[in-house]
A and B are shown apart, each in its own frame.
Chain A
Amino acid sequence: MLPHEIAGESARVKAQLEILLGADLVDSPREAVRLGYEPVRKCTENDVAAMAGFLAWGMPLRHLRDALCAAGWKVDRSGNFETVRSPDGKVAITSARGDEKTGTEQMPSTATDKGPRTRKAVSVNRAQLSFDPQIIGTSSTVALLHKDVVTWFLLHHYDEAAQEIRLELAIPVEFVVSSGAGDDERVVATHFESRLPLEPILLETPEVGEDAEQDEADEEIDVPVSRRTTS
């Protein structure tokens, strides 16, 4: 992608986030993920197996709620489907771990199985978008027609090798059944519309020389070099 295209993409994302969240809250999804991953990164092999995944799902949503609820959004956990809902009730946002394609030009999927409420939300989203693919800005009208809500996923993926978290806000519109049937059916969201990739969160300081630990390294070496004296 060329620099001007990146700049253009960045402006587009910002403009759409302003419509979705309001100008004061455009940074809140990224900040929520950044804060949410702090406890995740403190997990060790001694934590119970599900801990890191649980925190990675729950903590970004908690921090997003912290930010958005101060602006009138509401915590919604109807049917055990955890979201934060806009003041007019027409937009909901939930947190989900995405696969390695999250925040890239490729189409991501959710990294974990989801339950029936996610399936329903995805189905409603698809119905909404079938009326208006440009859902942002007109979602209220469409939602009213359906008396339902558009559910956005705040997708995030921790790339351990790159030491970055890639993230995006996107509307899931397709899923595949990954296991079970009926009430026990589990799904994975596999296609997203209106994707708003956010700037990746870099987790490491790049300059080793600034590390406090370097103080422990050997002291500065002074190699003796002197002019030869000739007789």
Chain B
Amino acid sequence: MALFNYTRMDLARRRRGLTKAALADEVGITTRSLRKYERDEAEPSDQTISQLAKVLQFPAEFFFGDTLDEPTADGASFRSLTRLSARQRDQALASGALALAFSDWIGGQFDLPAANLPDYGGSDPETAAEAVREEWGLGEKPVSKLVHLLEAHGVRVFSLVEECKEVDAFSFWRGSIPYVFLNTMKTVERSRADAAHELGHLVLHAHGGPRGREVESEAHAFGAAFLMPRNSVIARLPHNATLAQIIAAKSYWRVSAVNLARRAYQLDLMTQWQYRNICIALSKRGWENEPRAIRTPESSQVMAKVLRALREDQVSPLLIGKELSIPVEELSKSAFGHMFRSVSGNAQGTDPVAAQDVEARRSAMHVVS
């Protein structure tokens, strides 16, 4: 018989952004009882478990099972370190743990690209970005779909849930698999910059070490050099480009106007004074009001293909959620919303294990979008 697992309940608590005291209060128990569950000195009653499930909006089954793997604050590279509260960080990490469970489930059923990320720890970011481009055969070309590119090279990419909107992105290595969590509620340009930034962490800081301004700055420089290769920018952008020219040129690299201006300044294509003026002009319209904005957000191709294949096998998102004891909304939020898109027409879902058996009799297929 499965036992109540305090760590799972605690993960659900952090996912909901509740303090222990607040949870105890809402469930109608004392914090002392919670501590007893934590120390394994007592088990919650069926009624308490049911109340915990209700308050935390997780199925009661979720609280039983093995402890879930969870990214740690030390192991993950967070953007916006200074702006982030501990609660927001914990919510993001808890959401990451649920996504990892989902990722493991997918990994058990699908062959995905193996990680192909070079290790350039200790290199300067500009050189590392050029080397990764070279290794991936990108030359000086702009990157059209960055999330797809990362996935093609073995990075598992998930979207951050809306409750984590203060978190820009985070990334970490888990064994041999690199993970990136992206905030998709900001501008597309910013989300792409975040993804390139996280790639920088994975390439430059794979071995952990102290996190702080310096590594953030390195990852930032890597991201800029990766999205806006030096030679390409020098060739295409005029010296002393005006704001209008920056705005006209930015769509080539699919970056924000301010990031292109900063890159131009960094490459000595404009003076500090000009860069400052462009920043002032852009800030007047608001940073979220990106000029000539990209309208189509980046999304996960892996997730789309996996869910399409499952749908063809009559495996509904609801069944996946049931198997993992995780609300399907949680899974969908970290799957770029793909789950909800595939819910329709799946009322006749079948047992995924049975579906797997059926699949086993088929030859391995290459799912094409």
Interface of A with B (CB < 8 Å)? 41, 44-45, 160-163, 204-209, 211, 213-214, 216-218, 220-230
Closest chain-B Cβ to A96's Cβ sits at a distance in Å of: 21
Structural contact, B306 and A226, CB atoms closer than 8 A: no
Structural contact, B295 and A161, CB atoms closer than 8 A: no
- Which of B89-97, B162-170, B285-293, B318-326 sits within the interface? B285-293
- Which residue of the partner chain, among A206, A222, A224, contacts B295 with CB atoms under 8 Å? A206
Name which of A204, A208, A216, A222 has the most chain B CB atoms within 10 A of its CB: A208
Name which of A207, A209, A217, A218 has the most chain B CB atoms within 10 A of its CB: A218
Structural contact, A204 and B369, CB atoms closer than 8 A: no
- Which residue of the partner chain, among B152, B293, B366, contacts A226 with CB atoms under 8 Å? B366
Structural contact, A216 and B365, CB atoms closer than 8 A: no
Within 8 A of A (CB), among B234-252: 238-240, 242-245, 247-248, 251-252
Give 6 new A-B contacts, CB below 8 A, not counting A225-B112, A227-B364, A229-B364. Answer: A160-B244, A208-B292, A223-B151, A225-B366, A229-B360, A230-B360
- Which residue of the partner chain, among A205, A214, A223, A229, contacts B113 with CB atoms under 8 Å? A223
Query: Measured between alpha carbons, how far is A162 from B108 in the docked complex, in Å?
Result: 49
Structural contact, A227 and B291, CB atoms closer than 8 A: no
- Which residue of the partner chain, among B284, B306, B356, contacts A225 with CB atoms under 8 Å? B306
Query: Measured between alpha carbons, how far is A32 from B151 in the docked complex, in Å?
Result: 50
Closest chain-B Cβ to A79's Cβ sits at a distance in Å of: 35
Query: Measured between alpha carbons, how far is A162 from B138 in the docked complex, in Å?
Result: 33
Q: Mind listing 17 A-B residue pairs with CB under 8 Å?
A: A161-B243, A208-B292, A211-B252, A217-B141, A217-B254, A221-B148, A221-B149, A221-B151, A222-B152, A225-B110, A225-B111, A225-B301, A225-B306, A226-B110, A227-B110, A227-B111, A230-B357
Structural contact, B148 and A209, CB atoms closer than 8 A: no
Within 8 A of A (CB), among B321-369: 356-357, 359-360, 362-369
Query: Measured between alpha carbons, how far is A228 from B368 in the docked complex, in Å?
Result: 15
- Chain A residues whose C-beta falls within 8 Å of the C-beta of B245 in the assembled complex: 44
Structural contact, A225 and B152, CB atoms closer than 8 A: no
- Which residue of the partner chain, among B149, B295, B359, contacts A208 with CB atoms under 8 Å? B295
Query: Measured between alpha carbons, how far is A218 from B150 in the docked complex, in Å?
Result: 13
How many residues in B have their beta carbons less than 8 Å from beta carbons of A?
55
Residue of A nearest to B138 (CB): A218
Pairs A-B, 9 closest by C-beta atoms: A217-B144, A221-B148, A225-B305, A230-B360, A208-B251, A161-B281, A161-B285, A223-B151, A45-B240
B177 at the interface (CB under 8 A from A): no
Query: Measured between alpha carbons, how far is A45 from B248 in the docked complex, in Å?
Result: 16
Query: Measured between alpha carbons, how far is A136 from B364 in the docked complex, in Å?
Result: 78
Structural contact, A208 and B294, CB atoms closer than 8 A: yes
B109 at the interface (CB under 8 A from A): yes
B142 at the interface (CB under 8 A from A): yes
Within 8 A of A (CB), among B254-284: 254, 281-282, 284
Closest chain-A Cβ to B133's Cβ sits at a distance in Å of: 10
Structural contact, A226 and B291, CB atoms closer than 8 A: no
- Chain A residues whose C-beta falls within 8 Å of the C-beta of B291 in the assembled complex: 161-163, 204
B296 at the interface (CB under 8 A from A): yes
Query: Measured between alpha carbons, how far is A56 from B275 in the docked complex, in Å?
Result: 24
Closest chain-B Cβ to A113's Cβ sits at a distance in Å of: 23
B143 at the interface (CB under 8 A from A): yes
- Which residue of the partner chain, among B143, B151, B296, B305, contacts A209 with CB atoms under 8 Å? B296
Closest chain-A Cβ to B178's Cβ sits at a distance in Å of: 14
- Chain B residues whose C-beta falls within 8 Å of the C-beta of A160 in the assembled complex: 242-244, 281
Structural contact, A211 and B238, CB atoms closer than 8 A: no
- Chain B residues whose C-beta falls within 8 Å of the C-beta of A224 in the assembled complex: 111-113, 152, 366
- Which residue of the partner chain, among A163, A214, A226, contacts B367 with CB atoms under 8 Å? A226
Mark contacts of B290-310 with chain A using CB atoms, 8 A cut-off: 1 yes-contact digit, 0 otherwise.
011111100001100110010
- Chain B residues whose C-beta falls within 8 Å of the C-beta of A44 in the assembled complex: 238, 242, 245
Query: Measured between alpha carbons, how far is A115 from B247 in the docked complex, in Å?
Result: 35
Query: Measured between alpha carbons, how far is A165 from B254 in the docked complex, in Å?
Result: 24
Query: Measured between alpha carbons, how far is A222 from B336 in the docked complex, in Å?
Result: 18
Residue of B nearest to A52 (CB): B242
Name which of B238, B251, B281, B285 has the most chain A CB atoms within 10 A of its CB: B251
Contact of A226 with B244 at beta-carbon distance under 8 Å, contacts A206-B295, A208-B292 already known: no
- Chain B residues whose C-beta falls within 8 Å of the C-beta of A161 in the assembled complex: 243, 281-282, 284-285, 291
Contact of A204 with B247 at beta-carbon distance under 8 Å, contacts A217-B144, A221-B149 already known: yes
B186 at the interface (CB under 8 A from A): no
Contact of A228 with B364 at beta-carbon distance under 8 Å, contacts A45-B240, A160-B281, A218-B149 already known: yes
